[in-house]
Amino acid sequence: MSEPVRGYILDELEVGMTAEIERLVTAEQIDQFAQASTDYNPVHMDDAYARTTAFRGRIAHGLLPASFVSAVVGTKLPGAGALYLEQTLSFARPTRIGDTVTARVRVKSIDRESARVVLETTALVNGEPALEGEALVRVPRRRRGAAAA
Amino acid sequence: MSEPVRGYILDELEVGMTAEIERLVTAEQIDQFAQASTDYNPVHMDDAYARTTAFRGRIAHGLLPASFVSAVVGTKLPGAGALYLEQTLSFARPTRIGDTVTARVRVKSIDRESARVVLETTALVNGEPALEGEALVRVPRRRRGAAAA
């Protein structure tokens, strides 16, 4: 194949398959997330204010580590072509500048009739569970463009 | 009060309170979200590729409209001071460049014992439901800093 495989199709998926990415969280990423989301909550932006809160310092938006999970879903497992239907998120601990986030996806179940796949989605912060949840995606049955080859 | 109120405390919240923001989605926002999340799925970044998919053109990351909802939670209702515990997201339609997203939050229930509040969270795209779900937050019982005054 001359074209890169952009994502898994249904027949290629098996329960138990996993994928992950590791990301170092930077102040720049938090600033970019604030600009994209227009969420300038001072606990994310203003370290002096954040120090007066229970967090005792600036923390990332909760959806930033969630977006790393979403990056795994959209680019690795199942990858491009999958349609995101649902995501649940349970936040256990905050993410700070300098933290290493490991975003992990594991295929939990596959409904081959409907082409719907349940994924366990997790983010660890410095190895500790920070975010748990599940995603429901619909996966393509065949690779687009193959018929045109 | 000389200091702006940054968020609601428990006693100020009532079931049925609502808040919303409206945002026009730009290519720049999608690019910023891609940089923050490191999610460069071509369906978000590459219009030529995206035209070959069921979306027939470039779409925003699903968590971009979700981040507008999170912006309402973090900055308006309940606002700064609330601790994000859970979020569920159900995606009904994609968001495109030039779309207007209305992110809405409504207080669904309040547990005054645990200070936990359930919020209905919705995003409309050009007035049509695009994202539905619920958030669970813990709200402060008193305003920090008040005791020091």
Domain of residue B86, CATH code: 3.10.129.10
Q: Is it the case that residue A147 has pLDDT exceeding 70?
A: no
Whether A109 and chain B come into contact, CB under 8 Å, resolves to no
3-state secondary structure of B32: helix
Tell me if B143 is assigned to some domain. Answer: no
ipTM of the complex as predicted: 0.90
What mean pLDDT do residues A119-130 have?
97
Question: Which residue of B22, B63, B72, B97 is the best one to mutate when testing the A interface, meaning the one whose CB has the most A CBs within 10 A?
Answer: B63
Owning domain of residue B16: 10-26+60-138
The reply to whether residue B74 touches residue A39, judged by beta carbons under 8 angstroms, is: yes
Count of structural domains, chain B: 1
- Per residue in A1-46, pLDDT (tens digit) is 334 448 999 999 999 999 999 999 999 999 999 999 999 999 999 9
Whether B50 and chain A come into contact, CB under 8 Å, resolves to no
Tell me if A133 is assigned to some domain. Answer: yes
Model confidence pTM above 0.90: yes
Smallest Cβ–Cβ distance between A39 and the set B30, B61, B70 belongs to: B70
- Per residue in B4-55, pLDDT (tens digit) is 448 999 999 999 999 999 999 999 999 999 999 999 999 999 999 899 888 8
Tell me if A35 is assigned to some domain. Answer: no
DSSP structure string for A113-127: TTTEEEEEEEEEETT
Query: In what order do the strands lie in the sheet containing B116-125?
Result: A18-24, A100-111, A116-125, A128-138, A83-91, B83-91, B128-138, B116-125, B100-111, B18-24
- Confidence grade of residue A52 (pLDDT, cut at 50, 70, 90): confident
Beta-carbon contacts of B51 under 8 Å, excluding residues fewer than 6 positions away, are B57
Q: Which residue of B has its CA nearest to A93?
A: B85
Tell me if A65 is assigned to some domain. Answer: yes
Whether A21 and chain B come into contact, CB under 8 Å, resolves to yes
Going by C-alpha positions, the residue among A110, A8, A96 that lies closest to residue A47 is A96
Residues in chain B within 8 Å Cβ distance of A41? 71, 74-75, 79-80
Tell me if A64 is assigned to some domain. Answer: yes
Mean per-residue pLDDT of chain A: 91
Start-to-end Cα distance in chain A: 10
Predicted local distance difference test score (pLDDT) of residue B52: 87
Q: Is it the case that residue A74 has pLDDT exceeding 90?
A: yes
Cα A25 to Cα A22, A32, A84, A126, B88, distances in angstroms:
10, 12, 25, 11, 24
Tell me if B45 is assigned to some domain. Answer: no
Pair of tokens at residue A122: 């997790």
Q: Which residue of B has its CA nearest to A63?
A: B67
Whether B43 and chain A come into contact, CB under 8 Å, resolves to yes
Predicted local distance difference test score (pLDDT) of residue B145: 57
